[in-house]
Amino acid sequence: RAQEEQKAAASASAAAASHGSPIFTYSELGMDDSPGDFQTFMDPPASG
């Protein structure tokens, strides 16, 4: 399962970088119920 999540994260990062639309990654990472955590995951420098 860990590998599956890592693969999804990598795919989401690459796709988000090219699409500039993180919305689709919500379901990709299964974090559709945690938009706050997702934003932190997507833009760590923005919060740090």
Q: Are 16 and 42 in contact (CB under 8 A)?
A: yes
The tens digit of pLDDT for each residue in 34-46 reads: 555 555 555 555 5
CA-based end-to-end distance of the chain:
29
Q: What is the pLDDT of residues 1-48, one digit of tens each?
A: 777 777 666 665 665 555 555 555 555 555 555 555 555 555 555 544
The Cα 47–Cα 7 span in angstroms is: 24
Structure tokens at 27: 């379901």
